[in-house]
Amino acid sequence: MSKRSITNRLNDLSSSEWLKFQKSWFIHNPPRRQKNVMRHPAKFPETLAMEFIQFFTKRGDVVLDPMVGTGSTLVAALRTGRHSYGIELNQDYVEITNQVIVSEKQNLEFTDQNITCEVIAGNAAQIADIAKRYAIPPVDYVLTSPPYWDMLHAHGADTQKDRRASDNFDVFYSNDPEDLGNIEDYNEFLDRLSRIYIDMEPVLRVGAYLTIIVKNIKKGGRIYPLAWDLANRLNAVFQLKDEKIWCQDNQRLSPYGLGHAWVSNTFHHYCLQFRKE
């Protein structure tokens, strides 16, 4: 009996490539960041973004990142032949992203002028107005990573020490009161972040996926389950389909709580997968 032919409606991957991505965890140690984007304090790598975009879209689909930072999602979309739009509150990062896009097109010897790659200066909380003003078409996929509450303001964070000693790197995103990374109250932060994603629902086509890369937070001796709290909030509008855990095994261990208390070295992020049903 011949094998039944399967029509792949989601992506352009082979069956073996599809199966490989289905594993619920993956190790991704990104290449060194380019100098012009190192100013951003919490950038996720283009190579990681490419994996998600290639699974959840086909060539020519539309990708959105409402908190695009210095453009990882847009670069990944360009490299994979997808249209992309990014929204960014910080004007400095908008300028950096525009430079990155120009450089990426040159490096790719970019010739397909029909592929849209656009960064928009604006507040993701105004997504409906932005989508209308810039004529963003129905979105096939959202890939994004929000601020991890106000943790970049934590002066004791080991990851921030070297950045604080340099004038070339940002320690936090901005001083803008609209910046979610400046909200001190956890519940207010969670409310405003959830509302941004919920308000994106009308701009997504039916069946579109939403991937949010996020991490639970340690602060003041307790855990704030940001990933789980966010999943619970958004599940009222989107359907939570799964989680994929991004493990980082190239980080240096620190002896937190040595000899008196359990404190883990947390080297993983949750990649939450939602779908507009």
- For 247-270, letters b (16+ CB in 10 Å) and e give eeeeeeeeeeeeeeeeeeeeeebb
CA distance 193 to 175: 17
Phi and psi (nearest 5°) for 28?
-140, 110
Tens-place pLDDT, residues 20-64: 999 999 998 876 655 554 444 456 789 999 999 999 999 999 999
* pLDDT (tens digit per residue) in 82-96: 999 999 999 999 999
Selecting from 3.40.50.300, 3.20.20.100, 3.40.50.720, 3.40.50.150, what CATH number does the domain 35-250+263-275 have? 3.40.50.150
Q: What percent of the chain has pLDDT over 90?
A: 65
For residue 109, the model assigns a pLDDT of 74
Give me the DSSP letters along 18-77: HHHHTSSEEE--PPPPPGGGTTSTTPPPHHHHHHHHHHH--TT-EEEETT-TTTHHHHHH
Q: How many CA atoms lie within 13 A of 55 on its CB side?
A: 20
What is the tens place of the pLDDT at every residue in 153-166?
565 555 545 544 54
Residue 139's pLDDT is 98
